[in-house]
Structure 1
Amino acid sequence: MKDYSSMKAAEVRKLIRQQKITGQTSGMSKGFTQANLVILKQEHALDFLLFCQRNPKSCPLLDVTEPGSYRPSRLAEKADLRSELPSYRIYKDGVLTEEVKDITDYWEDDMVGFLLGCSFTFEAPLLDNGIPIRHIEENRNVPMYKTDIACNQAGIFQGPTVVSMRPMTAQDAIRAIQITTRFPAVHGAPIHLGDPSLIGIDDISKPDFGESVTINEGEIPVFWACGVTPQAVAMESKPSIMITHSPGCMFISDMKDSELSVL
């Protein structure tokens, strides 16, 4: 597998636009902020903006486009949200209808793009501190799970919080909490450690999104709020159309991770 970790964000986005990269983006363009994507028609945009404000752990807002614009001016002003993510999901009336590599044909003049912080962003500082990231080691998509933790409703939008999971030793988990607390714009500290059944996850080996990873003896699962939450919310709230990234297939921005650190 080619190593994209040292490439600049714009270089990787070009390869994505050319559909030379079509899979998950964890570990790519180390040091550049990655983001989840939600696209809605303008009639639902205000409700979703309020939903993000009420649920900042799972939906930390990094950028919002002008209605009709596919240029994320704060994160990468020359980027095109229609073609520079490896894979997109199309939800119609709450049903996942398609998974595509380009959404140019789906774009409408009143659509608004929301870019949300992604936990892939804090993986670089975790690795820099000697904390292994299992899904990167095993070349898999991070495992993600629906929980029984309800989001705070806003307008039509309601549903369960989705979490991403990384197994760690207790010692590494403590250090990971310290590190990720510095990044509230990309989910911040974990929301749960240990027994997954306490947050409504019945089988840790069967994620709702992504792929399962090995949990070694002596390790505990560590759960962060996840930007795939809007996809679970779409299934429950049923907007006429919602376009999202495919889980793990993020928008890689020109913003540096260091710009999001609060310490």
Structure 2
Amino acid sequence: MQTPAVVTTVDALRAVVGNWRRAGEKVALVPTMGALHAGHLALVAEAARAAPRVVVSIFVNPTQFAPHEDLATYPRNLERDLAALAPAGVDLVFAPEVGEMYPEGASTVVTVGGPSQGLESDARPHFFAGVATVVAKLLTQCAADVAVFGEKDFQQLAVVRRLARDLSIPTEIRSAPTVREPSGLALSSRNAYLSADDRARAAGLHAALSGAAEGVRAGRSAESAIATARAQIEASGFAVDYVELRDAGTLGAFEPDSGRDGRILAAARIGGVRLIDNVPVTMSKSVA
């Protein structure tokens, strides 16, 4: 079991990846902000299925945090992250400093329309510009054949797919399902902030969304199902930012008679910790 090699500069990253490419090997990238857990390792496993060489980036991206958010306290432990990656078959970790990713005078920002509209953008208007900018950098720096993102951040996944298409970045964007605790709570680095009591109550978020999805599949109106879910989430002790049903493909308006699948997405705060989650509404398989 070998700890993966670490590089901290773009030049070093490109040198290693270039050697693999000259040997005819495909490369998969898993972008992370560290504080790795089983959800990240599931992304790594998907990357390993996609390509013989796997790169994991670990970079807490400052441009996706607002001044009042938890950039300073976001969990960072590179040694522990490397230990978690050691048995996972990762070949290389790219762990740049902020100045490497955003050199002095950096002034280019990537913005994506379409699936970035609403939801997270309403609560965190800075967020997707920061995500799109850093992901565009990582995809071009690594020049990976495949990049893997988690479905827990479903709107982010849609934004990244749009970004790659619109900028003609020749990286296949793959997704991996959300990994959950036995209670149903989606794994997240921010779960570490939860007290034991809040962690137990937080399971109500996924339970409420799953109930709403079942209701819509059974023919209940979206408005009624979402209203019930919101009330249940609030009853669990959350302050709700949003609970919405969107078209799963476009993140536009959901049309229940179209036969297209939907996605219920939510963000809510409990004990001062902001959690997001989503569940599929699989209409197409139930339409005769």
The answer, yes or no, to whether TM exceeds 0.5 is no
User: If you compute each CA radius of gyration, which structure gives the higher value, 1 or 2?
Assistant: 2
More strand by share: 1
Say which structure is richer in helix.
Answer: 2
**Could you say which structure has the greater relative contact order, defined with CA pairs below 8 angstroms and 6 or more residues apart?**
1
